[in-house]
Amino acid sequence: MKIAVLGTGMVGRALAGRLSGLGHDVTIGTRDPLATLARSEPDGMGNPPYSTWAKAHPEVALAPFRDAAVGAELVVNATNGSGAMPALEMAGADRFTGTVILDISNPLDFSQGFPPTLFIKDTDSLGEQIQRAFPRARVVKTLNTLNADLMVDPASLGAESSVFVSGDDAAAKTTVTALLESFGHTDVIDLGDISTARGTEMLLPVWLRLMGALGTAAFNFKIVR
C-alpha cells in the first residue's frame, strides 16, 4: 500500500519503519525536509536526530507534506496534537477523497507544564475535528493509547494487550485493523463511530500518571473480559 506518514518524531519513525518493513511504500511527510535533515542534535527527549534514523532506513523517503501525500491510499497522522491540523492542511485536503487517515495524535497541552492537560475533550475530540475538517477522508483513530515502540511491536510486552479503533467508515476500520494485526495486535476493539475517540483521547491523563508510577512507558491497557 502507498502510505504517507506525517511527522518525523518517534511515532512517525516507528510507524514508517514498521510499515516499510512489512513491504509498504512509505514516504514520511514533514514541513521542510532540508531543515529536518539538517538537525544534528538529539531532541528535547534525548531522541536521535532524524538524519540518524534515516540512514538506517534508506527505503523510507522524506518529502514535504504535500508531496508525501500524493497518491497515498493511507495517511498516518503521527504529528503531535497541535501540529495535526496544519500538517493535514499542508498535505492537501483536496486530495483526501476516500483516503484513510489513521490518526494517532492526542490533544495534549503542555503550555502549563507536566502533566499536560487536553485542549479538546469530553464533548469533542481531535479525531472528530479532523473528520469534520476533511469530510471526504475516512478517519480512524487508533494507537493513541500506547507508546510508539509498542504500537508497532505489541508482542514485546510478553502478554496480550488491547488497542482501539474509532471511526465512521466500516471499510476504513477494516483496513486499519488489518494493518494493526500485521503489527502483531491480537485484540483490536472497535469502539464505534469517531465520537468514541473522546474516550481514548481522555485515556492520556491516566496513561501519563501510570508512566510516572510504573517508571516506564512499556505498558499497555488490556481489556479483560
Stretch that binds its own copies, among 3-11, 38-46, 78-86, 215-223 (CB under 8 A): 215-223
Nearer to its own copies, 60 or 197 (CB): 197
Q: Hey, which residues does 108 pair with through a beta bridge? A: 118
For position 188 contacting its own copies by CB under 8 A, the verdict is: no
Stretch that binds its own copies, among 11-19, 76-84, 121-129, 178-186 (CB under 8 A): 121-129
Q: At its nearest, how many Å lie between its own copies and the CB of residue 30?
A: 31
For position 183 contacting its own copies by CB under 8 A, the verdict is: no
Q: At its nearest, how many Å lie between its own copies and the CB of residue 199?
A: 3
For position 49 contacting its own copies by CB under 8 A, the verdict is: no
Nearer to its own copies, 184 or 192 (CB): 192
* CA distances (Å), origin 80, targets 38, 150, 212: 21, 17, 20
Q: What is the DSSP string of 73-111?
A: SEEEE-S-HHHHHHHHHHHHGGG-SS-EEEE----EE-T
Q: How far apart are CA 184 and CA 176, in angstroms?
A: 13
In the region spanning residues 2 to 31, those forming contacts with its own copies, defined by CB under 8 A, are none
Contact call for residues 118 and 204 (beta carbons, < 8 A): yes
- Pattern 142-181, binding to its own copies, x per CB under 8 A? ---------------x-xxx--x-----------------
Nearer to its own copies, 69 or 197 (CB): 197
Nearer to its own copies, 4 or 194 (CB): 194
For position 42 contacting its own copies by CB under 8 A, the verdict is: no
Tell the residue number behind the cell numbers 501540529, with chain if given. 83
Nearer to its own copies, 68 or 118 (CB): 118
Of 50, 19, 15, the closest CA to residue 33 belongs to: 50
Amino acid residing at 82: S
Tell me, what DSSP letter sits at residue 22? T
Identify the residue among 121, 149, 153, 168 touching its own copies (CB under 8 A). 121
CA dihedral (201, 206, 211, 214) in degrees, to 10, reads -150
Angle between helices 81-92 and 126-133 (to 10 degrees): 20
Question: For residue 26, how many C-alpha atoms fall within 13 Å in the half-sphere facing its CB?
Answer: 24
- Positions in the binding site for its own copies (CB under 8 A): 117-118, 121-123, 157, 159-161, 164, 189-192, 196, 198-200, 202-203, 205-210, 212-214, 216, 218-225
